[in-house]
Amino acid sequence: MKKRVPISRIMTKELVTLSTQDDLVTAEKLFKSKNIRHIPIVEGDAILGMLSYTDLLRISFADAVGEDEQSVDSMVYNLFALEQVMVKNVTSVSPETTIKEVAQFLSVREFHALPVIENGKLVGIVTTTDLINYLLEQY
């Protein structure tokens, strides 16, 4: 297995993002339609925070009710602004950070995604799924 492979090789580059002007209903639609679990919150190219599907589930009944109950989710989501639910002060990595370093970091932290920042600009996101897929390619 290669030891110095940069995270830029496996990170997701085509990002789905939200701004603080977006709402949680929009976020839920993106999570479900894009089949993703993490969305960077940005202002231009700068990252302001991260929203995970788990963050959204903490304040909703999203998977506890049937599809006919979407109005319940919308009512709950309308009680909160995206900025209230997103994680601020996000830890990030650079594109040159090695896959091993990212794996070590995520193995001891309670989150599963890291934004990849280059010169103050969001250029990607790396998730535990990206790491698992990379490991599977090695076998």
Q: Does 73 map to a domain?
A: yes
pLDDT at site 105: 93
- Of 76, 77, 80, 81, the C-alpha closest to 20 is 81
Q: Does 1 map to a domain?
A: no
The residue range of the domain holding 88 is 7-137
Residue found by looking up tokens 């896959």 in the block = 99
pLDDT at site 79: 84
Q: Does 32 map to a domain?
A: yes
Q: Does 80 map to a domain?
A: yes
Paired residues of 52 in beta bridges: 38
Q: Model-level pTM? A: 0.86
pLDDT at site 45: 86
Output the tens digit of pLDDT for each of the chain's 139 residues: 567 999 999 999 999 999 999 999 999 999 999 999 999 999 998 999 999 999 998 887 544 445 555 555 667 788 889 999 999 999 999 999 999 999 999 999 888 999 999 999 999 999 999 999 999 998 8
Amino acid at 112: H
Q: Does 126 map to a domain?
A: yes
Q: What CA–CA distance (Å, rounded) separates 1 from 119?
A: 29
pLDDT at site 36: 96
CATH code, domain with 36: 3.10.580.10
Q: Does 46 map to a domain?
A: yes
**Which pair of structure tokens corresponds to residue 82?**
């995206």
Which run of H or of E encompasses 123? strand 121-127
Q: Does 2 map to a domain?
A: no
Q: Helix (H) and strand (E) counts for the chain?
A: 6, 4
pLDDT at site 115: 97
Q: Tally the domains of the chain.
A: 1
pLDDT at site 12: 96
Number of Cβ atoms within 10 Å of the Cβ of 95: 16
Phi, psi for residue 24 in degrees, rounded to 5? -75, -25
pLDDT at site 1: 59
Burial 104-120 (b: 16+ CB within 10 A, else e): eebeeeebebbbbbeee
